[in-house]
Amino acid sequence: MKRNGHRHWNSPGGWIGLLMMLLLSCSGGEQRNDRPLLASNWGGTAGGPIDGRLEVQVFDDMTGDPFPNVLVSLGDSGRITTRTDNQGIAVFTGVIGPQDVHVYFCGGCDADAANPVIPVFYRIGSYYQVNASQVSIPIIPGSRSFTEAALQGKVFDVERNESVFVSALDELGVFEVLGPLGSTTYHWVTAESQLLNDPDPPPIDLTFVFTRDLDEWAAADPDGGRQGFNQVALIGKAINVSKQPQAGVRVGARYFGGNDAGRPYYFDEAGRIDPSLEATTADGRFLFLRLSSNNDVFVSARQIGVGVGARYIHLPAAGTTVFTLPVLPIIEQAVDLSGRVVVYRPDFQEEERKGFLSSENVGVEGVLINFSGDPVSEIVVTDSGAEIGGNYRSVRHLLPNSRYIAVVLAGRTFRQTYQELQFNNRSKTNYPLAVVPLGDLVAMVRAAKEDDTSGLEAGTAEILARIVAPTGQIDPNGDPILAPIPNVEIAVVDASGDEILTRAYFDDQGEVDPDRQQTGAKGAFLAFGLTPGVYTVIATDPITNETIDRKSLLVYANGVHLVELVQASGEIVLGAVRDPEGNPITPPQLSLIGGNPDCSQLGEGCSLPAAGEYFVRMEQRTGGGDYSVPVSGSKRALGLSTFRLSPDGTLNNVAFAAGLGPLAVGGRLTFDIGFTPSVSLVETTGLITLPPGFSHSDIEAVLIGAAAPRGEAFIGADIIGFFPGKVGPGFRALSLPPEGALSYFVTATARNGGGASSLIQVQGLPGIPIRQDLTLPDPPRLLSPVPPAPEEEAVVSENTPHLVWAAPDAGPVDLYRVTLETEEGEQLWEAWVPGSRTEITFPAFPEEAPEQLDPFVDGRPIIWRVHAIQAGGLSFQEFTFRQLAQRRVSNASAVSRFTIKREP
């Protein structure tokens, strides 16, 4: 499957290799099942047949601690129940075997508003037809859809043209693979880098920055530290009025909250970073490293007589942002700004031009105004009193030739409001600002929803947009006077390219009209219910389908964002993609934030309307970079492995670390990793025999692993088979020999197009094998309930579904593991079944069990899987999971689905 653009797998066995880190304690010989009720044996069955007394122990798989007061039920009636005592043991008397044992546990199902707890454990666990008087059931950390933790960090020492994959292996044998990691650059393209009214503007080349470039630039200043995980970079070019690089410009940067964004670096004339430089050279470029991602930053140049100007830039979640900073040799250092904060109406700016005494706008007294990048100490307060209510002024503080975001901080009767201000080279300017009273905003949203009872959702935001065009007249600021454009289509698109449907236009009178499909005379538009994130507002001519203007902006929770789209003529033509040295490179994958480019193919030669602001995203899956591997639940220890590939796809290096952790539920464990140069890799070859219904292209992984005193990790892989699939039965894996390994193991997995999977794991090898043939097991066949056809659904109406499957054709099965989960991957039920049985019936839900645990909710689609496990003849009536971890284990599974639909 795909995740975040990377190739991604998880081991189909799920639990296979359960507690492999215990191999170090097992190296002296196989552990015997002497004390099965101790959690140190990790659960299982023992004690001989049930003859009047059954003990069921429930414990925390992570800590070994017993779980008291857990509901345990026998049989299928749901009426034979008891609870565990302080030792986590439930006792049933007067019973004989075999029995079906069901444990109902939910960490957090009893949470309330005063004591919120997130459920993080498997919900229901069952042992079917168990005939052992002592049963010990571990509660294993639950699925990632509940509370997902992450092993994260950065991979260093990867060249521009090399690719790298990352794998994480937990103590349960579950592994994830991400990759190839890569580099991402966002180039902010506007017409500001072109001469005004140029009839034949030159193409704007795009700059692509590799992760390796950032690492080398950071290394030029060792005192500053590395460019670490989740840190981004910003490259700017100062340009003068002739649109040429401007030397002698000093820049600074602040986050929107006023915090300093760190020191700038400057490029020398040869295009290299020189930490000793204090201003731009003839190259014109500057660099900020180690920036906090997913933020807005304000970049300013203040060299009077050389270059003055400022812009605010959004920093995405990853990668490097490239932009142009126009500067002018202005003598005036700062701007005197004044204006009035008024109640929002679509034409509030036109009204203010009449003068506040003539305007119908209502001033808002005593509100706080903050400008992008200003600390709290610079907040401006509006006046109170007759004829001056809502007036504000900022004296000699803001820069000319700059763009700011003015934030009217939230008040008792209005949301926090964001509005862009753009200054020219004048020393004095006037700008009206607006706030939207909560009552007015609720009325707008209710009108858009056509629902008089709804309100604003907590944590969401709104965009109030207007499309306007210059009238040819100039206001006292020297800015063009603008007039709204009717009959225009406006769309709001999120970062994934999906259009927001919670929107509406204003009619000719300035009221929300849910039936209108284009702008009215006011040119206004509303989008609401927006979750925080980056959105692109696009205005389009419905007749020509051409873009009139577009803006991308970061939307904050519980705020109103006022956006003005301005029609303009001309075009932007994209040029070649170049590296930071200016050399043309093979174009990476290009896309446009917000989508909808006006050209058929985004890239060199693409023409875009000059009115827009465009964030061109470029991605190249080479050069290393950040990784984040999802981890379900808590983990005692994790192994991290990285595989580095040459441009021809040959594995050239491996790096790994074992015993990372522990990692708490929902936590983050950060670990950076790099490669040792000039390593010698050991080769393992073999043949893979597949079960019926599988082809060699279905093979997902052949991995070599090592168990060490601190845990285990993969030390090698068959790259050709791993990425992206084999074409023949043979494999060739390369491994980096570790120091101090206790034993080795080989894992191979495959998954076919029907969802069936197969895994083989050979454990306890004394060294890295030179030759290892592998036979993947045959999956079971699911019989009922299954859809009658791929496009149809299987329907179950009873409260106690009955599942039936057929045993694999090849070889006996020692154990079956049956799981139920939601479409989102939330674990609902886990059942262990003897290998002699091929059907189970789910029990009636006990009245005492938490109702949140009941998986059979009307209308719910359920995914069910059956895993057939071969473990060398291990008996379900006398085993521990510790023993299971030591056996040569194979696991093959099949998957199907059904939907719960009650009879009317």
Contact 635, 661 (CB under 8 A): yes
**776 close to 868: Cβ distance less than 8 angstroms:** no
Residues in a beta bridge with 683? 734
Confidence band (pLDDT; 50, 70, 90) for 30?
Answer: very low
- Mean pLDDT for 369-373 is 89
pLDDT at residue 869 in the model: 92
CATH classification number, 414-566, choose in 3.40.50.1000, 3.30.2320.80, 2.60.40.10, 3.40.47.10: 2.60.40.10
Side-chain half-sphere exposure of 501, counting CA atoms within 13 A:
1
Whether residue 871 contacts residue 758, with contact meaning beta carbons closer than 8 Å, is answered with no
> Domain spanning 162-189+206-335: which CATH class is it, in words?
mainly beta
Going by C-alpha positions, the residue among 167, 209, 159 that lies closest to residue 652 is 159
The token duo for 707 is 């168990």
Domains 414-566 and 802-898 share a fold: yes
pLDDT at 604: 92
Measured distance CA(444)–CA(460) in Å, rounded: 15
Can you tell me the distance from the alpha carbon of 880 to that of 40, in angstroms, rounded to the nearest whole number?
10
Neighbours of 7 (CB within 10 A): 17
Is the pLDDT reported for residue 492 higher than 50?
Answer: yes
Residue 20 pLDDT exceeds 70: no
Region 219-232: mean pLDDT is 94
Q: How many CA atoms lie within 13 A of 65 on its CB side?
A: 5
Identify residue 724 by its one-letter amino acid code: P
Pull the structure tokens for residue 638: 């994790």
The amino acid at residue 20 is M
pLDDT at 205: 95
Q: Give the mean pLDDT of 359-367.
A: 92
Across the strands, what pairs with 420? Answer: 405
pLDDT of 102 > 70? The answer is yes
Give the helix, strand, coil percentages of the chain, each rounded to 5: 5, 45, 45
Query: Would you state the structure tokens that stand for residue 876, as one six-digit string?
Result: 């379900």
pLDDT of residue 355: 84
Q: What is the pLDDT of residue 651?
A: 92
At residue 837, φ and ψ (nearest 5 deg) are -110, 145
Q: Which helix (H) or strand (E) holds 722?
A: helix 719-722
* Digit-coded pLDDT (tens) for 736-762: 999 999 999 999 999 888 889 999 988
pLDDT (tens digit per residue) in 235-288: 999 999 999 999 999 999 999 888 999 999 999 999 999 999 999 999 999 999
The b/e string for 141-175 (b: 16+ C-beta within 10 A; e otherwise) is: bbbbebbebbbbbbbbbbbbbbbbbbbbbbbbbbb
Say if residue 12's pLDDT is above 70: no
| Structure confidence at residue 123 (pLDDT) | 64
Q: How confident is the model at residue 857, as a pLDDT?
A: 87
Task: Tell the residue number behind the tokens 């190296």, with chain if given.
Answer: 27
Question: What number is the average pLDDT over the span 106-125?
Answer: 58
Highest mean pLDDT among 61-75, 213-227, 586-600: 213-227
Closest residue by Cα to residue 103 from 133, 81, 87: 81
- Pick the closest to residue 702 from 781, 622, 769 (CA basis): 769
Q: Mean of the per-residue pLDDT values for the chain?
A: 87
Architecture of domain 35-139 in CATH? Sandwich (2.60)
| Domain map (residue ranges) of the chain | 35-139, 162-189+206-335, 414-566, 570-677, 682-775, 802-898
Closest listed residue to residue 307, CA positions, set 209, 204, 399:
399
Rounded Cα–Cα distance for residues 239 and 271 (Å):
16
pLDDT of 411 reads 85
Task: Name residues whose C-beta falls within 8 Å of residue 28's C-beta, 6 or more positions apart in sequence.
Answer: none
Helix (H) or strand (E) holding 669: strand 668-670
Task: For the sheet with 204-207, list strands across it.
Answer: 204-207, 571-578, 607-609
With a cut of 60, say whether residue 631 has pLDDT above it. yes
Distance of alpha carbon 652 from alpha carbon 41, whole angstroms: 40
Alpha helices in 5-84 (DSSP H): 23-26
Q: Which of 422-431, 487-496, 556-565, 580-589 has the lowest mean pLDDT?
A: 422-431
Q: What DSSP assignment string belongs to 190-217?
A: -GGGS-TT-SSPPPEEEE---HHHHHHH
Under CATH, domain 802-898 is a member of which superfamily? Immunoglobulins (2.60.40.10)
